[in-house]
Amino acid sequence: MKTLTNVVTMKELSPNGGQLNYLISGGRVYASAKSWGRALQVPDAMKVWFETGLIRTALLNKNVMDGELEMIYKGVLVYRWHIVAEQLRVFDRQWYQTQFKGRPKQEQRDIERFHDNYERLVHWGYDLQERALSHGISSSTMPGSPVTQETLLEVIRQVIAPRLGDHDKKLHEQDVVIAELREAVSALRDQKAFISVKQAIAEQGLDSSLMPLYPNSRENLSSLVGHFLKRRGVEQGPNIVARLDGKSLSTEMNTYRRGDIYAALNEFKDVKQLDLNIE
């Protein structure tokens, strides 16, 4: 574990009213787990979770963020603000997953009060880091001399780059999730794309072998919707080769725009044959 050097000691009150004794070194903010916990006013029932979580979070992120995440100062382990912010995000996720509902009532109230201040605490922490950045820039130059481009870029590289890299990682994760949702949620798929009736039925989670008009008709859902679209003169796309329901051989199938097939499927929901106008 590396030792923290070139340190400036500081004090500040958090939005919760707790005092933070912290260190600035190289434009970065550090404090002990107990100092962070006191400033954030972590509930007594969560102090062990918070302090041990900082160790775990620092370990998991050591290859993601640039620079040292935990260091030693006068024999005490100190953590950068970025690790504290990650631990607060873990708490926020667990809160919304209702992982604290099994606690005693008083603990639940204390934890709920802590979560009410979550956003303010995160914004305060990053504001603290930005002020440390300003301190790092000013302390890197002689009094009265202008800040050089090299000094500014070096401080930004040391302090801001890890945050931007983490932000980029989260944006990538969000893009992956959005792509998966678009694939999984039919309402978000391209409504103008040409697909087969069979595919649309599968996307809607329906059974293509159902016979909605039975006993008046033994046509299955796939056949009924196909005839419905054809009689209505709905725009067709290029034919595709696929297997018919219950058949081993492949055959050509008509394709229609996804939105048109979805609309046709809605026509067949909970209707009787006499109520359905397919002409």
Q: How many domains does the chain have?
A: 2
Let me know whether 136 and 208 are in one domain: no
pLDDT in tens, the chain (279 residues): 789 888 889 898 988 888 999 998 877 889 999 999 999 999 999 999 999 989 888 888 777 666 678 889 999 999 999 899 999 988 988 888 877 878 888 998 999 999 988 888 988 988 888 887 776 555 544 444 454 545 545 555 555 545 544 544 555 555 555 555 555 555 557 788 898 888 888 877 777 777 777 777 788 888 888 888 988 889 999 988 776 655 556 678 889 998 899 888 887 765 544 344 444
Let me know whether 120 and 208 are in one domain: no
> How much of the chain is helix, strand and coil, in % rounded to 5?
50, 15, 35
> Hey, what long-range contacts does 208-215 have (CB within 8 A, 24 or more apart)?
208/245, 209/245, 209/246, 212/268, 212/271, 213/272, 213/273, 213/276
Let me know whether 24 and 119 are in one domain: yes
Beta pairing, strands 76-80 & 70-73? antiparallel
> Please, are residues 158 and 27 in contact by the beta-carbon 8 Å criterion?
yes
Choosing from 122, 140, 158, the residue where a domain stops is: 140
CA–CA distance, 7 with 14 (Å, rounded to integer): 21
- Give the list of residues 6+ apart from residue 63 with CB closer than 8 angstroms, or none: none
Let me know whether 104 and 41 are in one domain: yes
Residue 264, domain extent: 194-270
Tokens of 235: 């725009």
> Please, are residues 43 and 154 in contact by the beta-carbon 8 Å criterion?
no
Read off φ and ψ for residue 29, nearest 5 degrees.
Answer: -100, 130
Residue at 158 is within a domain:
no
> Please, are residues 27 and 137 in contact by the beta-carbon 8 Å criterion?
yes
Alpha helical stretches, state H, the chain: 33-40, 47-60, 81-96, 105-116, 118-139, 149-184, 197-203, 221-231, 258-267
Let me know whether 116 and 27 are in one domain: yes
Residue at 177 is within a domain:
no
